[in-house]
Amino acid sequence: MNTFMRWAGFLVVLFIAAPLVIVVPMSFSDARSLQFPPPGYWLGYYRAYFTDMSWLIPTWNSILIATATMILTMLLVVPATFALVRHRFRGKGFADLMMLMPLAVPHIVMAVGYYSYFGQLRLVPTPFGVILAHTCLSVPIAFLVLSANLKGFDRNLERAAQSLGANPARTFIHVTLPILRPGLIISALFAFVQSFDETVVAIFISGRGAETLPRKMFDSIRQEADPVIAVISTLLFAIVLVGIVAPYFISTLRSRAPKPSKPTGAH
Amino acid sequence: MGTSLSKLTEKPNIWPWLLLSPLGIYMLIFFVVPLADVAIMSFTEPRPTLANYTKVLTGALYQRVFLNTFLTAAFVTACCLLVGYPLAYLMAHSKPRTAMLILLLVTMSFWTSFLVRTYSWMVLLGNNGPLIAFLQMIGIESPPQLLFTRFSSTLAMIHILAPYMIMNIYSVMKKIDPALIRSAESLGAKGFSLFRHVYLPLTAPGIANGSVLVFVICLGFYVTPVLLGSPREQMIAGLIGHQIEEFLAFGLGSAMAMVLLAVTLVILTIYHRRFGLDKLWG
Provide DSSP, chain B.
-HHHHHHHHHS---HHHHHHHHHHHHHIIIIIHHHHHHHHHHHHSSSSSSHHHHHHHH-HHHHHHHHHHHHHHHHHHHHHHHHHHHHHHHHHTS-HHHHHHHHHHHHHHHHS-HHHHHHHHHHHHSTTSHHHHHHHHTT-SSPPP-TTSHHHHHHHHHHHHHHHHHHHHHHHHTTS-HHHHHHHHHTT--HHHHIIIIIHHHHHHHHHHHHHHHHHHHHT--HHHHHHS-TTS--HHHHHHHHHHHH--HHHHHHHHHHHHHHHHHHHHHHHHHT-HHHHH-
Residue A169 lies in a domain: yes
Mean pLDDT of B167-183: 90
Closest residue in A to B113 (Cα) is A197
Residue B10 has pLDDT above 60, yes or no: no
Question: Looking at the 3D structure of chain B, how many domains does it have?
Answer: 2
pLDDT at B276: 82
Q: How high is the mean pLDDT of chain B?
A: 90
**A165/chain B closest Cα distance in angstroms:** 23
Q: Do B40 and B59 have their domain in common?
A: no
Q: Is residue A72 part of a domain?
A: yes
Same-domain pairing of B138 and B8: no
Per-window interface: B 177-206 vs A, CB < 8 A: 191-192, 195
How confident is the model at residue A207, as a pLDDT? 81
Identity of residue A162: Q
pLDDT greater than 60 at residue B169: yes
Q: Are B186 and B118 in contact (CB under 8 A)?
A: no
Size of interface A-B (CB pairs under 8 A): 271
Whether B84 and A16 have beta carbons less than 8 Å apart is answered as no
State the pLDDT at residue A1.
56
Q: Name the pTM for this structure.
A: 0.91
Phi-psi region of B235 (alpha: psi -120 to 50; beta: other; left: phi over 0): beta
| Residue A255 placed within a domain | no
- Does residue B109 lie within any of the structural domains? yes
Q: Select the residue of B120, B220, B227 nearest A20 (Cβ to Cβ).
A: B120
B233 and B96: one domain? yes
Which one has a higher pLDDT value, A247 or B273?
B273
**B280 CB contacts (<8 Å, ≥6 apart)?**
B209, B212, B213, B268, B271
Question: Would residue A22 count as lying in a domain?
Answer: no
* Residue B50 covered by a domain: no
**Cβ of residue B115 closer than 8 Å to a chain A Cβ:** yes
Position B9 scores a pLDDT of 52
**Which chain B residues contact residue A18 at CB under 8 A?**
124
Say whether residue B9 is in contact with chain A using an 8 A CB cutoff.
no
* pLDDT value of position A255: 62
In this structure, the answer to whether residues B10 and B140 fall within a common structural domain is: no
A124 found inside a domain: yes
* Together in a domain, B126 and B157: yes
Please tell me whether residues B147 and B269 are part of one structural domain: yes
B83 with A12: Cβ contact below 8 A: yes
Same domain for B126 and B3: no
Q: Nearest CA to A264 among A191, A170, A160, A164? A: A191
Q: How confident is the model at residue B218 (pLDDT cuts 50, 70, 90)?
A: very high
Amino acid letter for position B110: F
- B201 CB burial (10 A radius; 0-12, 13-18, 19+): exposed
B76 and B36 in a common domain = no
- Cβ contacts of B185 on chain A, cutoff 8 Å: none
Nearest C-alpha neighbor of B221 from the set B169, B166, B156, B165: B156
**Cis preceding-peptide flag for A260 (omega within 30 of 0):** no
> Which of these ranges, A2-11, B73-82, B160-169, has the smallest mean pLDDT?
A2-11
Q: Are residues B203 and B110 in the same domain?
A: yes
Q: Specify if A170 maps to a domain.
A: yes
**Structural domain includes residue B172:** yes
Domain that holds residue B102: 55-281
Q: Which residues of chain A have pLDDT under 50?
A: 257-267
Cα(B146)–Cα(B152) distance, integer angstroms: 6
Mean pLDDT of B76-89: 94
Is the pLDDT assigned to residue B166 strictly greater than 50? yes
Spatial distance between the Cα atoms of B61 and B58, rounded to a whole number of angstroms? 9
**Range with lowest mean pLDDT among A142-151, A170-179, B48-57, B183-192:** B183-192
Position B107 pLDDT exceeds 60: yes
Grouping H, G, I as helix, E, B as strand and the rest as coil, residue A29 is strand
Burial (CB count within 10 angstroms: exposed 0-12, middle 13-18, buried 19+), residue B178: exposed
Question: Is residue A30 in some structural domain?
Answer: no
d(CA A32, CA B27): 46
For residue A217, what are the domain limits? 54-225
pLDDT, position B82 = 94
Is B17 within the bounds of a domain? yes
Reduced to 3 DSSP states, what percent helix, strand and coil does chain A have, rounded to the nearest 5? 75, 0, 25
- Rounded to a whole number of angstroms, the distance from the CA of B237 to the nearest CA of chain A is 6
* Phi and psi angles of residue A29, each rounded to the nearest 5 degrees, phi first: -70, 150
When pLDDT is cut at 50, 70 and 90, the band that residue B117 belongs to is very high
Q: Tell which A residues from 187 to 216 touch B, by Cβ distance under 8 Å.
A: 193, 197, 199-200, 203-204, 214
Q: Give pLDDT, residue B224.
A: 95
The pLDDT-based confidence of B144 (bands split at 50, 70, 90) is: confident
* CATH value at residue B143: 1.10.3720.10
Q: What is the C-alpha to C-alpha distance for residues B23 and A136, in angstroms, rounded to an integer?
A: 9
Domain count for chain A: 1
Give the CATH number of the domain where residue A203 resides: 1.10.3720.10
Q: Do A117 and B26 touch (CB under 8 A)?
A: no
Both B33 and B60 in a single domain?
Answer: no
Q: Is residue A258 part of a domain?
A: no
Same domain? For B33 and B152 the reply is no
Chain A residues in contact with B219 by the CB 8 A cut-off are 106
Partner residue opposite A34 with nearest CB, options B118, B129, B171:
B129
Q: Are residues B129 and B260 in the same domain?
A: yes
